[in-house]
Amino acid sequence: MQVPNNQHVAPLPFKEFQITARKLFKRHENIALRRFNTASDDFKFVVLTLSNRRTPKLFIPSDIGKPFEDFSEYQREMIIDAMNSLSKWGRSLPNYISASDRILDI
């Protein structure tokens, strides 16, 4: 967009630019929000528990049913950190572990 030479365009703060860009481009959809909000309460319990281990008392049990957007920016950052950790751990596990593995070969 071209601006005539006689007009001044106010600079856009970076945080506002990020918000505007996310709204304009589908590839920047909020994956954390979508994944957290569509997850089961069991998954949310694990995520919030892991976050609480790192930052005690950040979440309370009644937070499990809340949507992602209801948390503070810091809480959302900790949720994302916990989900990233779970993702890394998930790659180290096989798709299925047999119940017969409970028997130890002695």
pLDDT for 71:
97
Q: Which two tokens stand for residue 10?
A: 């106010």
- Is residue 3 included in any domain, yes or no? no
- Is residue 19 included in any domain, yes or no? no
How far from the centroid of its chain's Cα atoms is residue 49's Cα?
Answer: 14
pLDDT for 102:
87
Cα distance between residue 79 and residue 82, in whole Å: 5
Total structural domains in the chain? 1
- Is residue 10 included in any domain, yes or no? no
pLDDT for 5:
66
Q: Which residues contact 19 (CB under 8 A, 6 or more apart)?
A: none
- Is residue 62 included in any domain, yes or no? yes
Cα distance between residue 12 and residue 106, in whole Å: 67
- Is residue 23 included in any domain, yes or no? no
- Is residue 94 included in any domain, yes or no? no
- Is residue 76 included in any domain, yes or no? yes
Whether this prediction's pTM lies above 0.75 is answered by no
Q: Which two tokens stand for residue 62?
A: 């009644």
Cα distance between residue 80 and residue 32, in whole Å: 7
Q: Which domain holds residue 68?
A: 28-87
pLDDT tens, per residue, the chain with 106 residues:
555 666 777 888 988 888 777 777 766 678 899 999 999 999 999 999 999 999 999 999 999 999 999 999 999 999 999 999 999 988 888 888 899 888 988 6
- Is residue 55 included in any domain, yes or no? yes
